[in-house]
Structure 1
Amino acid sequence: MNSKKYTKNYFMPPKIDMSWTAKQFPDKAPVWCSVDLRDGNQALVIPMSLDEKIEFYKMLIQIGFKEIEVGFPAASETEYEFLRTLIEKDLIPDDVTVQVLTQAREHIIKRTFEALDGVKNAIVHVYNSTSVPQREQVFKKSKEDIKKIAVNGALMLKELTEQAGRDYRFEYSPESFTGTEIDYACDVCNAVLTIWKPSQQRKAIINLPSTVQMSMPHIYAAQIAYMSDHLNYRNNIILSLHPHNDRGTGVADSEMGLLAGADRIEGTLFGNGERTGNADIVTIAMNMMALGVDPRLNFSNMPEIVKLYQQVTRMRVYERQPYSGNLVFAAFSGSHQDAIAKGMKWQEEHQPEHWTVPYLLIDPKDIGRKYDGDVIRINSQSGKGGVAYIMEQKYGLDMPKKMRENFGYCVKNVSDHRHKELLPDEIYKIFQDTYVNIETPVSLIDFKLNKTADSMRKGFVHLYINKCEKKLGAYGNGRLDAVSNALQEELKINYTDLIYSEHAMEIGSTSRAMAYIGITDKDSTVYWGAGMDTDIITASVKALISAVNKLPDIKKLCNNKI
């Protein structure tokens, strides 16, 4: 790796204005133009079929795009047929403008206009390369020669539109803008604008692509600021950006470019495009939303958008792709899970105006994600807070605080042993198997306890102990105390500090109750049991028996046939 072979290939503006850096974020959404069906499609290993392109196009409309670049009609018969299908099948809504791309070459422009026949609203996007490497190495032409190509292309667009009796809008891109002298790029764009003479009613688009990223984002934005200040007809121009992602800063280029004066963004869903891709419109739009700016695009059903995108493009949305990736809201870390769970509860209790949950930039529900399966994910790194959150949200189980810790370690050990993430149903099964209605070696048959004159409880508890049926007398200051006394006396065991908690799991006549009990043995270890039953008292007794069955001395005592 020899860094000395590289140098800066970009050009600073003749005059630098960085006043735009005082802005915190754009105050409104830009005009969005999806180039998925052209720039994105040409970058696919297997380009989309006609049916796939139509399906993708319809999704873009549902998301809310009002400008969609549908292809390069003169490039191939497939591209030409797609546009004709949209027109002939009346698939272009009145409020949607289709955009077509053409090089500034006569036969290509004419073929493009043939494809547009019958369309209501269109943008004809013409371009030619202007950078130093392109002029010197590819075209071997002077600055004047390159500018003449742009001017001739602009003239032809104007003439053919007038001949067609249409009001097509025009767009010009000095392709490879980032490698072009900024004052020269401005001169070429102004020469094109002199031909078009844009008005308020029919604005022209000047598109400044970062065809290859060559600088840090603030340099690109400074170039945009200069162009915004020095283009003629500025009030009648929509200044557009088309950032690529060679340096991995397509989103940053877009955001800073908007602050510097741009009005429009061309990009793709999830950043698909040649080489490292285009600006990711999903990320840019959602970044705006996270700052309180309405992006005017609807990503409320992100999972379905991702699913269709992957299906028709055969591309994969990376699991950590901002906002759209499968794991972007997932917290495996115990401390993160605990903070998120507490933040969610605080949000629910206080109903604040703004979203402030720790570790979650936006509310996952805003883009169609679920808390229990998408946010809190359980593996060997997880803690008690995350496990408890899953159990409460998905299964209605509200364990005592100390029991949560015990169960959290249990789940971590299982995940660590299996070397895998545990799904909610697997966690619930571990809970059931570990704590609920444990019946070996002691199991409940029945019990009956009546209130005495001195407000005590007296009666019997009917059990199987080591498969032997026994009916024990029971007496205590409550039902649970009476059963506990009977068990300790019969089994010759001692435990203290009985911890008890209960709650209803469901509402209705057939609702189930859940009870949790912790008992401390002679070694100061707490053993937990849980009971589930339609009757809360029965659930409590089952919870106590479940905890007793976990005491280490019980099996030994039972084997001695007590």
Structure 2
Amino acid sequence: MPAHRYTDVYTRVDVPLADHDRRWPTRRITAAPLWVPVDLRDGNQALAEPMDPERKRRLFELMVRMGYTEIEVGYPSASQTDYDFVRLLAETDIAPDDVTIVVFTPARRDLIERTVESIRDVRNPVVIHMYAATAPIWRDTVLGKDRDELREMILAGGRDVWELAGHLPNVRFEFSPEVFTLTEPDYVIEICDAITELWQATPARPVILNLPATVEVATPNVYADQIEYMDRTLARRDGVILSVHPHNDRGTGIACAELAVLAGAQRVEGCIFGTGERTGNVDIATLALNLYTQGVDPMIDFSDIDEIRRTVEYCTRMEIHPRHPYVGDLVHTAFSGTHQDAIKKGMAEHRARARVEGRSEREIAWRVPYLPIDPADIGRTYDAVIRVNSQSGKGGIAYLLEAEYGIELPRRLQMDLSRRVQQYTDTTGDEVTARDIWGIFSAAYLSDADDRAVRLTAMHLDEAAGRTELTLQVDGTESHSTHQDAGPIEALAAALHAHEMPVEILSLHQSSMRSRADADALTILEYRTADGSAWTAGRDRSSLTATLDAVIRAANADAGARTAVAP
């Protein structure tokens, strides 16, 4: 590939920070920045089918419910739909009083006039966001202006904004030097300081300086250096809200945003799930939930993430990738056997700690392998945490049976059942559900042959006399036996032994199935065979009947095995 065509002259701007003088590498994020979703403007511009008014309103109302307090709602000078939506906010009460409305405009007087007209009589706090491209290649190729000419164009736009809206008490101002990442640092400082002076930035009426990675062109540490340099160099810093707007061209937009906050950014613009031009704007959901997994309140409500996803997918007509962080269908799902085993053990340990501490599972610290977040915290159930395909192991199979049916499998049986499930998935190539696994289990350990060699047709237990009476049907012939000082299981074993059909029980496990409102008892039995051991099971409303049934099944299986190898 012709890598020589790309040079770091294009992909990097040197930041004048002294060596070893960075502050951001040693910092930690301890509080959420101000999140500003731009789905209705930047995200909307990236859609093959831009949102109609109904979709814009639905997405706006979702953002309000989630707790966003500042929302960029459109580009009213460029789109009649956006203009009408801003007017809708002015003329109705769908925007709560504490939500700040942001409108976007280029640095051009006629478009600024249209923008200011759109916010007429808006009761909410308003931010007028003016932008202009400042990077050399944009200056030379797109705008045809040198540094001085562009500076004057930007300040002229700033003066127009101040003239038309500076007197409005509910209006503040934002400026973006577009493609900040490729603009010379001294030039950005020069323009930003001139703008904050023009707009009279003070702590009481701060100006937002938004520093976008309009095109992501360098590693995240470079962006962090650029933001730290601005944070340390800007005039009137206490009257400035330092904002960032990363895109994701290199796939590191989230890292850029996180490092930018460490470097001094107080505000982050992005889209709920990263919708935007090219590879997208930065993903606010991932950023916010990254903080959440570090014990920091993200200040946005993602407790019903599936409803948020459904709304965003409807409004944008774009599906969320199944492996998208936090929200994708498969992000809390393990197919790998080793992952499943670790998750199963971690979930069991989590439940045990909750019992020991006498608190609910939602109250104690979350420490489960492979799951950085408790799925329940974002409205997910545990049903989809473990799913089984040909890559899965015994842990996942056992987890699904326990989660769906309440059955706890002995470890050695997990290995036997896993082999059978593996044969099924290798043959079909399909994922298997808990219901499929139960079907495989039933066929292997609960099936009844029509020609059973032995059946238990009657049993009478005389507890007072300590006597058990049995009636067996062996190869079609009934026989009765009485067993003194023997319980039902011992009596059945003795009767089978007398018919040369011994069943040596190695282990016996009982559980209650949750497949019905009235749970059935399930007995799982391991018995000795000529080759080692095997498994069978019994199921009934009575645990005793279920156990007797399992013993009879073992006897028939062993008899069938002997018949199969007889000369």
User: Which residues in structure 2 correspond to 1:283-432 (within 5 Å)?
Assistant: 283-351=286-354, 353-372=364-383, 374-432=384-442
* Alignment match of 1:519 (pick from 519, 527, 552): 527
Structure 2 counterpart of 1:470, which letter? E
Q: Secondary structure at the match of 1:371?
A: coil
The reply to whether residue 479 of structure 1 matches residue 451 of structure 2 is no
> How many residues of Structure 1 are paired with residues of Structure 2 in the alignment?
551
Q: Aligned partners of 2:107 and 2:49: how far apart in 1?
A: 28
Aligned partner of 1:56: which letter? L
Matched, 1:37 2:40: yes
Assess, with a 3 A threshold, how the Cα gap between structure 1 residues 509 and 346 changes in structure 2: closer, same or farther: closer
Q: Does 1:150 align with 2:161?
A: no
| CA drift at 1:238 | 0.6
Which range moves more in the overlay, 509-518 or 546-555? 546-555
Distance in 2 of aligned mates of 1:517 and 1:400 = 10
Q: Note closer, same or farther for the CA distance 1:475–1:32 as it changes in structure 2 (3 Å cut).
A: same
Return 217-226 or 492-501, whichever deviates more. Answer: 492-501
Aligned pair partner of 2:506 in 471, 492, 498:
498
Q: Is the 8 A contact 1:548 1:554 kept in 2?
A: no
Q: Which residue of 1 aligns with 2:95?
A: 92
Is the contact made by 1:495 and 1:522 (CA closer than 8 Å) also made in structure 2? no
Indicate the SS of the match to 2:300. Answer: coil
The separation in 1 between residues aligned to 2:289 and 2:73, in whole angstroms, is 24
Q: What is the Cα deviation at residue 361 of structure 1?
A: 0.9
Aligned runs of 1:99-118 on 2, under 5 Å?
A: 99-118=102-121
Taking a change above 3 Å as real, the CA distance of residues 403 and 461 of structure 1, as seen in their structure-2 partners, is farther
1:300, CA displacement in angstroms? 1.1
> 1:131-176 CA distances to partner (integer Å, 9 max, x unpaired)?
000111111111111111221111111111145x443010000011
Partner of 2:548: 541
Cα distance in structure 2, aligned partners of 1:389 and 1:292? 28
| Cα shift readout 1:54-107 (whole Å, capped 9, x = no counterpart) | 111111111111111111001121111122122222211011111110000000
Task: Give the superposition deviation at 1:488.
Answer: 4.1
Question: Partner of 1:475: helix, strand, or coil?
Answer: strand
**1:199 counterpart SS class:** coil
Is the 1:251–1:280 contact (alpha carbons within 8 Å) kept by the matching residues of 2?
yes
TM-score (norm 1): 0.93
In the alignment, is the contact (CA less than 8 A) between 2:224 and 2:259 conserved in 1?
A: yes
SS at match of 2:282: coil
Cα pair distance change 1:252/1:507, threshold 3 Å: closer
How many angstroms apart in 1 are the aligned matches of 2:517 and 2:322? Answer: 44
Deviation at 1:265, TM superposition (A): 0.2
Distance 1:260 1:522, change over 3 A: same
The change in CA–CA distance for 1:441 and 1:508 in structure 2 (over 3 A counts) is closer
2:183 — aligned with what? 180
Corresponding residue of 2:360: none
Offset of 1:178 from its aligned partner?
Answer: 0.9
Aligned equivalents of 2:121 and 2:410: distance in 1?
A: 70
CA distance in 2: counterparts of 1:230 and 1:469, whole angstroms:
99
Residue by residue, what CA displacement relative to the aligned partner does 1:395-441 show, whole Å, maximum 9, x if unpaired? 11122222222112222221221101111222222222322363543
1:509 CA displacement: 11
| Deviation of the 1:487 alpha carbon | 3.0
SS at structure 2 position matched to 1:232? coil
- For residues 161-172 of structure 1, the aligned pairs below 5 Å read 161-162=165-166, 165-172=168-175
Which AA in structure 1 matches 2:462? N
Per mean C-alpha deviation after superposition, the further-off stretch among 308-317 and 431-440 is 431-440
> Counterpart of 2:238 in structure 1: which amino acid?
N
Q: Determine if contact 1:102/1:124 at 8 Å carries over to the other structure.
A: yes
Over the aligned positions, Cα root-mean-square deviation in angstroms equals 2.3
Q: Within 2, Cα distance between the matches of 1:322 and 1:106?
A: 42
Partner Cα separation in structure 1 for residue 137 and residue 58 of structure 2: 39
CA distance in 2 between partners of 1:333 and 1:256 (Å): 33
CA contact (8 A) 1:527 1:550 kept: no
Aligned AA (2:459)? F
| Counterpart residue number, 1:458 | 468
**Identity across matched positions, percent:** 39
Distance 1:289 1:552 in 2: 60
TM-aligned CA distance change 1:506 to 1:34, over 3 Å: closer
- 1:14 paired with 2:24, answer no
Query: More deviation in 115-124 or 236-245?
Result: 115-124
Q: Report the secondary structure of 1:208's partner residue.
A: strand
Q: 1:148–1:480: structure 2 CA closer, same or farther, 3 Å change rule?
A: same
Unpaired segments of 5 or more residues in structure 1?
Answer: none
Cα offsets for 1:480-502 (capped at 9, x unmatched):
12212323443x33443432111
How far does residue 506 in structure 1 lie from its aligned partner after superposition? Answer: 6.0
Q: Which moved more, 1:503-512 or 1:105-114?
A: 503-512
Distance 2:196 2:508 in 1: 80
Cα deviation 1:363-397 (Å, max 9, x = unaligned): 1111111222x211111221112111111122111
SS of the equivalent of 2:483 reads strand
| TM superposition shift of 1:530 | 1.6
Paired amino acid for 2:398: A
Match of residue 202, structure 1, among 196, 202, 205: 205
**Structure 1 residue 515: deviation in Å?**
1.1
CA distance, structure 2, for counterparts of residue 495 and residue 521 of structure 1 = 9
Contact 1:532 1:539 in 2 (8 A): yes
User: 1:5 maps to what in 2?
Assistant: 5
TM-score, length basis structure 2 = 0.92
- Work out whether residues 441 and 555 of structure 1, in 8 Å CA contact, stay in contact via their aligned partners in 2: no
Helix, strand or coil for the counterpart of 2:273? helix
CA distance in structure 2 between the aligned counterparts of 1:129 and 1:396, rounded to whole angstroms: 62
Q: More displaced, 440-449 or 258-267? A: 440-449
